[in-house]
Structure 1
Amino acid sequence: MSSGSHFTYRPVREELAYTFGGRIPVAHVRSGDVFTVHTEDCFGGRVRGPVDLPSQVCAMPYLNPVSGPFFVEDAEPGDTLAVHIAAIVPARDWGVSATFPYFGALTSTGHTATLQPPLDERVWVYHIDPTAGTVRYCATTSDHSVELPLDPMIGTIGVAPAAMETRATIVPDYYGGNLDTPELRAGTTLYLGVNVHGALLALGDGHARQGEGEACGVAVEIATVTTLAVEVIKGGLPTAWPRLETDSGIMSVGCARPLEDAYRIAHHDLTTWTADLCRLDTLDAYQLIAQAGRAPIGNVCDPNYTILAAIDKAHLPQPQPAYADAHARLRSLTQGQP
């Protein structure tokens, strides 16, 4: 695979998308292309300070915008799209977080109805220092502040669903979407099953950092400049759920409610993937993951919850390279990219 074109896409506000599926492509890419995408935060840049309450400056369903979609040449249903995240750079020196009425893990919601009053709506502003690699938390009712590590990630990335469906970008599912996992950082390769001609890849919802579970429902939300490389992997075993690969590990993603079902989806996929890569008996793979695996939580607030099943490559017995070593090829392709 040789390197193709390298272009930059920067959407104007009217070009931002709020669904996976149902959109005309903004550009065409092919295997080997490296390209840079400007993305907006989940509020579309409208929340800039404590007085910009999201309920007043934003309107449903115009939340969680993504840039794209990008039509990937030669991608057909049944293929797998490998997307390597080469770099995620904050586009501004600030980010925001918030609490909302009836949203988050520790409040009444439409699914968990109680007689408690709703949480107050409040905005926190974070200063971002890319040189120091920090994100500054400041309390709103005291003078407490602390520097946290900058750990940029892409919260929402995916392809079009199957069967001509159109899904809101706030939903995570088998096609990707609002996965909200900190594991989607620079250096990670994401594998997505292709459901429609051209795949129709889109991404957005950058986070400067996020705690596991995204407990209040809002991370440190940022606009980003993100550099990607893509490769179409033809045929082979289907990729039913999103998978991730880094230099040191492999991960499977499950999205569902309740959280236990997301856990089961992720661990079922990782068990069968590990058995296939390592030529292990299924129960032997299950036992290995049960003792050596990890389960990083993505979010417990979105319409579906997200959890990952992960295992370090060092624990795997002579695994075959995943997807014919697409991660290593794409990583090599993007070395030296900004």
Structure 2
Amino acid sequence: MGVLSQCRSIHVGRDHDHLKWSKKLAPVLTVSSGDVVTFDTVDSSNDQITLDSDASTIRSLDLGLANPVFGPVFVRDACPGDVLKVEVLDLEVADWGWTAIIPGFGLLADEFPDPDLKIWQLDKGNGYARLNGAVRVPLRPFLGCMGLAPATEEDLSTIPPTNAGGNLDCCELSVGSTVFLPVQTHGALFSCGDGHAAQGHGEVCGTAIETSVKATLRFELCKDQPWVTSPHFQIPPASQLGVTILPDRGRYAATGIDPDLLEAARKAVRNTIQWLVVAKGLTRNEAYMLASVAGDLQIVQAVNMPNFEVAMSLPLGVFSL
């Protein structure tokens, strides 16, 4: 455990990865409130998918190695009941990323049993990635995983999120955002990973545009914030996000209505895929992937019982005229 001075820029490398949340993990460094830390992360496949991979790679993917996070970082004076404020200062993505349909994974896993893989070239100069000649997705990088060690003695998988954070997969947490995490154990023990170049709300096929990311984060220890018992976040005005804005042509949305909220979401995605196939000429797999990386699921209403209403919308600016 290193002893580091306040407000110094510090680095966590790719060799400090782990595949569980645990308060028993030895921290790789110690920081103070106000320090800035950079993290070099690898993609969620843990480098099992490369530029030369195809769908056959998905069949041999070892999911036991998936979703590595990097750290943990010990925060001086952090105690259970405190809050760790994490400011996202910078996110540098690689030149390429991937989106996959993984058998048994995703919101419509039963309807997409066969693996597929899309390798994206990330045009960082222009700020987008192309699905094909007619569809482009604006880049908006974020870390899928930011979290703290849990209070439990049990080691937890990095796949499901917890009240201490983890695999939140929240596409709002891009540069300029701030995340508030409730400290569960002495020193907080922060880790992060699972870089994404773009994702919609829902990540419905199970993957975003997965990529390695170099992240720069600032930590601040906060006291007396009892309302933070799960991850909270704050995002800046859209004008300060610094992301590529495609032409604003409005949005198209398909709804799903059902007494079961999950099934309503499935119906919304299913109806969106059908629209993309028939009206936009995409294959079903392309449509499912596009819904995952650019579509947004939203609960439209949750009070007109017995039916919930969920919508999935896509910005029409992703399509060429």
* Same-fold status (TM-score > 0.5): yes
User: 2:122 aligned with 1:122, yes or no?
Assistant: no
Partner Cα distance (2:157, 2:205) in 1? 20
Number of matched residues? 237
Partner of 1:136: 130
The SS at the match of 2:168 is coil
The SS at the match of 1:61 is helix
1:54 counterpart letter in structure 2 = I
Question: Given that residues 193 and 238 in structure 1 are in contact (C-alpha distance below 8 angstroms), is that contact kept between their aligned partners in structure 2?
Answer: no
Partner of 1:159: 148
Partner of 1:73: 76
Question: Given that residues 43 and 212 in structure 2 are in contact (C-alpha distance below 8 angstroms), is that contact kept between their aligned partners in structure 1?
Answer: yes
1:18 counterpart letter in structure 2 = L
Partner Cα distance (2:236, 2:35) in 1? 21
Q: Identify if the C-alpha distance between structure 1 residues 51 and 246 changes in structure 2 by more than 3 Å, giving closer, same or farther.
A: closer
Q: Deviations over 1:266-295 (max 9, x none)?
A: xxxxxxxxxxxxxxxxxxxxxxxxxxxxxx
Aligned 1:189-338 pairs, distance under 5 A: 189-248=178-237
Q: Deviations over 1:182-238 (max 9, x none)?
A: 011110100000000000000000110012211100110000010000001123425
Partner of 2:105: 103
Question: Given that residues 160 and 166 in structure 1 are in contact (C-alpha distance below 8 angstroms), is that contact kept between their aligned partners in structure 2?
Answer: no
Question: Given that residues 6 and 31 in structure 2 are in contact (C-alpha distance below 8 angstroms), is that contact kept between their aligned partners in structure 1?
Answer: no
The SS at the match of 1:120 is coil
Q: Deviations over 1:153-178 (max 9, x none)?
A: 11111001113232111111211111
Partner of 2:168: 179
Partner of 1:54: 58
Partner Cα distance (2:206, 2:62) in 1? 17
Partner of 1:19: 20
1:125 counterpart letter in structure 2 = I
The SS at the match of 1:213 is coil
Partner Cα distance (2:134, 2:193) in 1? 28
The SS at the match of 2:198 is coil
Partner Cα distance (1:67, 1:198) in 2? 16
Partner of 2:257: none
2:54 counterpart letter in structure 1 = P
Gaps of 5+ in 2: 239-259, 263-295, 299-321
Aligned 1:87-98 pairs, distance under 5 A: 87-90=90-93, 92-98=94-100
Question: Given that residues 41 and 221 in structure 1 are in contact (C-alpha distance below 8 angstroms), is that contact kept between their aligned partners in structure 2?
Answer: yes
Partner Cα distance (1:81, 1:189) in 2? 10
TM-score, normalization by structure 1: 0.66
- Per-residue deviation at 1:11? 2.0
- Per-residue deviation at 1:181? 0.9
The SS at the match of 1:7 is strand
Q: CA RMSD in A?
A: 2.2
Question: Given that residues 3 and 34 in structure 1 are in contact (C-alpha distance below 8 angstroms), is that contact kept between their aligned partners in structure 2?
Answer: no
Partner of 1:336: none
Question: Given that residues 78 and 238 in structure 1 are in contact (C-alpha distance below 8 angstroms), is that contact kept between their aligned partners in structure 2?
Answer: no
Partner of 1:324: none
The SS at the match of 1:127 is strand
